Amino acid sequence: MSTPIRPRRNRKNSVVRDFHRETWMSPQHFVYPLFVHAGRGVQPIASMPGSMRYDLESLRR
């Protein structure tokens, strides 16, 4: 078996390294879902423990 060739030209400067960098995740990439319903009050979502459906008034609060 031969050793794979890894061209170093792609890592010469930080701009090129940043371009080729792996995808990363941080808290700023996450979205907190809000579920709205037409009824009144806050309703728990049975299939998603800890998540709720909000009416417009409770969502404003």
Note the pTM of the prediction, 2 decimals.
Answer: 0.49
Using alpha carbons only, what angle is made at residue 22 by residues 5 and 20, rounded to the nearest 5 degrees? 60
Q: Is position 56 within any domain?
A: yes
Instruction: Give the pLDDT of residue 11.
Output: 67
Name residues whose C-beta falls within 8 Å of residue 33's C-beta, 6 or more positions apart in sequence.
51
| Structural domain for 51, as ranges | 33-61
User: One digit per residue, pLDDT tens: the chain, 61 residues?
Assistant: 677 776 666 667 788 777 767 777 788 888 988 999 999 999 999 999 999 999 999 988 8
- Name which of 24, 50, 53, 19 is nearest 38 in CA terms: 53
Residues 1-18 have pLDDT tens digits of 677 776 666 667 788 777
Q: How many domains does the chain have?
A: 1
Q: Are 40 and 20 spatial neighbours (Cβ–Cβ below 8 Å)?
A: no
Q: Is position 7 within any domain?
A: no
Residue 37 is encoded by which pair of tokens?
């319903």
Q: Is position 15 within any domain?
A: no
Q: Is position 49 within any domain?
A: yes
54 bridge partner residues: 36
